[in-house]
Amino acid sequence: MRIRTLAVIALMAIPVALSAQRMPRGAGAKRPGRAEMPEKQPRVVGQALAYTRSRVSFDAYPMISYFRAPGMLTPGHLASWTSGGMASHVDYRIKPRVSASLDMMSTIIGGTPLTASVELGTRFKRNDWAFANRVNPFLDLRGGFTYAYNTYTAPASIVAPGPSSSFSSGGRYSQGFGASVGAGIETFLTQNWSLLTAGGLARYQMKTYKVSNGPMMPDGSFPLTSLRLMIGLRYNAVTMISQLANTPQPQ
Which candidate, 166, 174, 163, places its Cα nearest to that of 216?
174
The sign of the dihedral angle between the CA atoms of 166, 172, 178, 179 is: positive
18 membership: H or E segment, kind and range: helix 2-21
**46 torsion bin: left (phi>0), alpha (psi -120 to 50), beta (else):** alpha
Q: What is the pTM of this model?
A: 0.67
- SS percent in the chain: helix, strand, coil, step 5: 15, 60, 25
Q: Is the Cβ–Cβ distance between 146 and 178 less than 8 Å?
A: yes
Which residues, in sequence order, are CB contacts of 30 under 8 Å at separation 6+? none
Beta bridge partners of 103: 89, 119
For the chain, 251 residues long, give each residue's pLDDT as a single digit of tens: 556 655 555 556 555 555 555 555 555 555 555 555 555 555 555 454 455 678 898 888 899 999 998 867 665 556 788 999 999 999 999 998 899 999 999 998 877 788 999 999 999 988 655 445 688 899 999 999 999 988 766 655 555 555 555 666 777 889 999 999 999 998 888 878 889 999 999 999 999 888 776 555 555 788 999 999 999 888 887 766 554 444 555 44
Task: Return the domain boundaries, the chain.
Answer: 59-234
Architecture of domain 59-234: Beta Barrel (2.40)
Q: What is the longest distance spanned by two Cα atoms in the chain?
A: 150
The 10s digit of each residue's pLDDT in 127-174 is 655 445 688 899 999 999 999 988 766 655 555 555 555 666 777 889
Q: Is the Cβ–Cβ distance between 95 and 125 less than 8 Å?
A: no
